[in-house]
Structure 1
Amino acid sequence: MKKIFVLISYLVIFALSVTAYQAKLSSPIAEDKGHLLPVALKSIASGTTDQELQQLVKTAGKNDDKLSIAGMQHSQGGQTLYPDAIMVDMKPYNKILSFNPGQKTITVQSGATWDDIQKYINPYHLALKVTQSQNIFTVGGSLSVNVHGRDIRHHALIETVQSFRLLTAEGSILQVSRQENQELFTSVIGGYGLFGIILDVTLELTDDKLYQYETKEVNYREYDSYFTKEVLANDQVKMHLARISVAPVSFLTDMYLTNYLLAPDQTRLEDYDSLKRDSIIALPKFFLGLARINDSGKNTFWNVQRTYTMKTDGKLISRNNSMRSDSTFMDYDHASKTETLQEYFVPVNEFADYIDDLRSMLEKEKDFNLLNITVRYVEKNEEAVMSYAKEDMFALVMLINQGTSKKAVKETEAFIQKMIDLTLAHQGSYYLPYYSYPSSLQLREAYPRTEEFFKLKQKYDPEERFMNLFYKEYQE
């Protein structure tokens, strides 16, 4: 009798496990890298050909299913996802379609990563014009958020796009450029997957060059003047990156920076053009871990960062290698905390005053765990409908350690809204890919063409076939 009871128990457990597994398959959970907003999907689908993706869209239309588009899912906050939608995973759609070294152009499917492109073009001594500092993202995802990087001569990604093909809500394929379907060109780039599926993209490339690091320490009050006179006005400086201290010992006062100067001897490029991967990951992970814990850890992390950067002065690096950090040292797994990003844009001439006001605000918020601020430059570009650079701006990218409980998320949201109000008061704006902490009013102040954007969405997708939480949250 006991053996029969045990056997029945095992059968019950097995049946429950199978049921749970089938439920998981039928309603998979997707989430972004911050793990704050898991979304239950209807299913996950993909395609490797135009015909497969077209059929997917047409079938969704017949069944009145919503579609959400995903690449590497690094757009934090789950804005590109939607409950009970079919998530279209674009990663398998990743071929290099054509390459013209003479014209310095390449056409790739949108699921290809920047790493895929770099590996393909590096033997031809060509490089990307614009991408993030990391190369792990898909091209389609990067277009959908209109990324920018550390290059101070090429700015928003939209500048480097010649054309792309778009699979619309009706299942038709359109050629999109500044000459054809121009309205879609400026709304799809930076459009967060709301207008259709970007199929393939033709991008402009540039020459791979050998750069020489130049490092310097400055006070935040000197930074805008130094940047304008010594960096932007110097044609030999091609890239630039700065960090401002969040360590208590020098909180929002001390800065160090790296300029990437054109190396005097370009014949040495071949000595440095083998594509690298990040190394010695354990050490930066260790010091970043200390910074999460207390003020002493933040002081140590800042000193290590600054000291290491200063030691790179005079060293050489290829352009491609300067644009391919995989940043795995920032991977973070904690039971009750996560790490999120915020990015604020402020006019160059507002930088010092903005930092003073930001410091005053942050010093009163002792529980706000700010780990790092990176500063980049973005030139004015209003070509995309949802453009963030209304004038020449410094972009401040903030890494924040926060709790995952409902209470912690609400507290973070309230404080971030205060920081956004401060940014707006300094004629700034903020970057859209991160959590939907900003209010609807803040969105419309930072992005004056928001209503135009939503009307274009209704024009090109009146059935709202392509849906995400960003649109649900802010469309009124």
Structure 2
Amino acid sequence: MFPCSPDGARATRQRRPLAAHAHARARDRSGHLARGAGWDGALGSRAGPAPVRGGGPPRDGRPGVRRERGAGRHAGLDRIGRLDAGAGTVEVEAGIEWPALIGGLAARQVGAERPLTIAQKQTGADRLTIGGAVAANAHGRGLAMRPFVADVESLAIVDAEGEVRTASRRQDAELFRLAVGGYGLFGVVASVTLRLVPRRKVERLVSLERVEDLMGAFSRRVGEGCLYGDFQFAIDESLPNFLRQGILACYRPVSPRTPLPARPRELSRQDWRGLVELAHTDRRRAFQRYAEHYLATAGQVYWSDTHQLGVYLDDYHRALDRRLRARVPASEVITELFVPRAALPDFMAEAAVELRRRGVVVIYGTVRLIERDGETLLEWAREPYACIVFNLHTEHSPQGIAATSGAMRSLIALALRRGGAYYLTYHRWASAAQVEAAYPQMREFLRRKAERDPAGLFQSEWYRHHVGLLGPSRTPRVEERRARRYA
């Protein structure tokens, strides 16, 4: 059970997970939760299955829609528990967000000879929960890292029967394999015991690279000891370097005595607003400015954890639409594709042709590396892949959404033809055939869900979509009527 500070009373230590436990056990005869005041705050005031969302990246393929509120939000579960320096682990409540976790770990270890910190986090946004990272089996910019499952020692999870269960590689290993990357469908994660790594100072190494040479450049940086890195590619579809050239920034450990810059060169929020606007109006200049900034920061020193944090401009597109007098409001929709590393140049060349042909605009894109998962049931990293992220400009109109959804399916097809896959998290525009080709274990995943939660307590739009796409997963005595009822 989740511990707090050493002097805290046992009853205080357990109050939040036990509150979730008690409410989950308090069912009425229909199998629904008999919600108390605390549970209402998480579930909202409606009957039916508990909607789940992990506080991770948005999973809705439609821009501007309401995202579900529910148990997966981990409201209030945001404390840091016991830090075990010897084991290199810390237990945290699943609702804690990355900045609070990184800052809290640093504050706990002031003066420590070898402070510990997180290994990786999602990039692009910071106000995401640890529970969300577990649900989506997320990844960051590690050069030789597996998905987030590698950083999870164990979970405390409230299952569909209202029982608080510990899941790890040694205890209830099947639940662990299902819950990490299980999109919140197997219970409410109350706390997570994370594996930590030494907190280090790292130096940024920057170079201009071509996609044809990128895997070799990544390999050289790994050989030089770099721990993190990614590649931002050119986004102007009118130029020959579209998706073919970019900035590679990698991070190599340096001596702990190396001073941090008193006034680091960094992009302000206003700088980011300017870059975002240029990406919509003059993509050639946007990439030039971005490249110039990164090249100017070569050699700058950062902490290995805080360098993974960044600026995110909330609701930036509303202000941008007003400034540009857009006739139709718009936003960027993310997709992430995975291809065998040797196939990256060919994939990017075909992707450039396809995006130009469709007239779909890329606002931002990056390439990262991932190692094989090998643990979760719904694994997306089946081998060491190159990960390609596209942010596609999408107008909120039938034509705009049709253009982006068609481009998404086309990009998925390009990845699948090369033995790759796509990330399930960001949108629901893959066809049924594409889902099954990328995730041949999806039907087994849905069957396990039906077995462990026959009443359909934990649900989401994502889950109902895939049940509707592939058909209910039937096992003896299990019927998923609820999934159809709430679709």
| Correspondent of 2:50 among 59, 64, 67 | 67
> Alignment length, in residue pairs?
420
Match of 1:210 among 201, 206, 211: 201
1:343 and 2:339 correspond: no
| Paired position in structure 2 for 1:6 | none
Identity %: 20
> CA 1:259–1:449 in structure 2 vs 1: closer, same or farther (change >3 Å)?
same
Distance in 1 separating the partners of 2:234 and 2:289: 12
For residues 278 and 239 of structure 1, the distance between their equivalents in structure 2, rounded to whole angstroms, comes to: 18
State which of 73, 78, 81 in structure 2 corresponds to 1:97.
Answer: 81
Aligned mate of 2:16, from 49, 71, 96:
49
2:268 partner amino acid: I
- Aligned twin of 2:226: 237
Give the residue type in structure 1 aligned to 2:16: T
Letter in 2 for 1:208: R
Does structure 1 residue 160 correspond to structure 2 residue 151?
yes
Q: Are 1:68 and 1:468, in contact at CA under 8 Å, matched by a contact in 2?
A: yes
- Distance, in Å, in 1 between the alignment partners of 2:24 and 2:150 is 29
Match in the other structure for 1:301 = 286
C-alpha separation between the residues in 1 aligned to 2:265 and 2:182? 31
- Which of 354, 377, 388 is 2:347 aligned to? 354
Residue from 95, 112, 116 that aligns with 2:96: 112
Q: Does structure 1 residue 291 correspond to structure 2 residue 279?
A: yes
* Structure 2 Cα separation of the partners of residues 351 and 374 of structure 1: 12
- Give the CA deviation at 1:365: 1.5
Deviates more, 1:181-190 or 1:62-71: 62-71
- Which segments of 5 or more consecutive residues in structure 1 lack a partner in the other structure? 1-46
Query: In structure 2, how many angstroms separate the alpha carbons of the residues matched to 1:465 and 1:101?
Result: 38
Deviation string 1:149-201 (CA, Å, 9 cap, x unpaired) is 11123321100111011101111111100011111111111111111101101
Asked if 1:428 corresponds to 2:388, the answer is no
Contact persistence 1:370–1:401 (CA under 8 A): yes
CA deviation vs aligned residue, 1:429-476 (integer Å, no higher than 9, x gap): 111111101112111111121112111101211111101112211121
Equivalences for residues 168-187 of structure 1 within 5 A: 168-187=159-178
Distance of 1:89 and 1:226 partners within structure 2: 40
Among residues 366, 383, 386, which one is paired with 2:375 in the alignment?
Answer: 383
Checking the alignment, whether the CA contact within 8 Å between 2:55 and 2:131 is kept in structure 1 is: no
User: Aligned partners of 2:381 and 2:59: how far apart in 1?
Assistant: 20
Instruction: Write the distance in 2 (CA, Å) between the matches of 1:211 and 1:226.
Output: 18
Q: Tell me the CA shift for residue 279 of structure 1.
A: 5.6
Offset of 1:86 from its aligned partner? Answer: 5.5
> Which residue identity is paired with 1:54?
H
Matches of 2:251 and 2:227, distance apart in 1: 6
Contact 2:60–2:462, Cα closer than 8 Å, also in 1: no
- Distance of 1:196 and 1:273 partners within structure 2: 46
Shift of 1:314: 1.1
For residues 256 and 399 of structure 1, do their structure 2 counterparts lie closer, same or farther at Cα, with a shift above 3 Å needed? Answer: same
Per-residue deviation, 1:52: 2.6
Instruction: Select 2:402's aligned residue among 399, 404, 410.
Output: 410
The answer to whether the aligner puts 1:461 opposite 2:450 as a matched pair is no
Partner of 1:24: none
Label 1:278 to 1:127 Cα distance change in 2 as closer, same or farther (>3 A): farther
User: 1:331 and 1:91, CA in 2 relative to 1: closer, same or farther beyond 3 A?
Assistant: farther
1:437 is the counterpart of 2:423: no
- For 1:266, the equivalent position in structure 2 comes to 256
Cα distance in 2, alignment partners of residues 462 and 257 from structure 1: 48
- TM-fit CA distance, 1:332: 2.5
Residue by residue over 1:104-132, the C-alpha shift from the partner in whole angstroms, topping out at 9 and shown as x without a partner, is 21101100111121111124232201211
Contact 1:131/1:147, CA 8 A, preserved across alignment: yes
- Secondary structure class of the residue paired with 2:176: helix
Query: Which consecutive unaligned segments of at least 5 residues does structure 2 have?
Result: 1-13, 33-47, 110-114, 322-327, 472-487
- 8 A Cα contact 1:187 1:384, kept in partner: yes
Task: Say which SS state the counterpart of residue 345 (structure 1) adopts.
Answer: strand
Deviation at 1:327, TM superposition (A): 2.3
1:1-40 to structure 2, matched below 5 A, reads: none
Q: Check whether the contact 2:134–2:180 (CA below 8 A) recurs between aligned residues.
A: yes
C-alpha change, 1:219 and 1:52, in structure 2 (3 Å) is same
Task: Specify whether residues 464 and 85 from structure 1 end up closer, same or farther in structure 2 by C-alpha distance, changes over 3 A only.
Answer: farther
What letter is aligned with 2:391? L
Whole-Å separation in 1 of the counterparts to 2:140 and 2:461: 26
Q: For 1:105 and 1:86, how far apart are their aligned partners in 2?
A: 28
**Residues 238 and 87 of structure 1, relative CA distance in 2, 3 Å threshold:** closer
Tell me, yes or no, if the aligned pair for 1:376 and 1:394 is still in contact at 8 Å: yes
8 Å contact from structure 1 (residues 345, 429) kept in 2: yes
Verify the 8 A CA contact 2:332 2:363 in the aligned structure 1: no
Query: In the alignment, which residue of structure 2 is the partner of 1:135?
Result: 126
SS in structure 2 opposite 1:301?
Answer: helix
Structure 2 counterpart of 1:358, one-letter code: A
Q: 2-side partners of 1:365 and 1:326: how far apart?
A: 31
Matching residue of 1:37: none
Contact 1:240-1:260 at 8 Å conserved across structures:
yes
Q: TM-score, normalised by structure 1?
A: 0.82
**Residue 106 (structure 2) aligned to one of 122, 143, 149:** 122
- Once the 2 structures are TM-superposed, how far is the Cα of residue 285 of structure 1 from its aligned partner? 1.0
Deviation, 1:135, is: 3.0
Structure 2 letter corresponding to 1:298: R
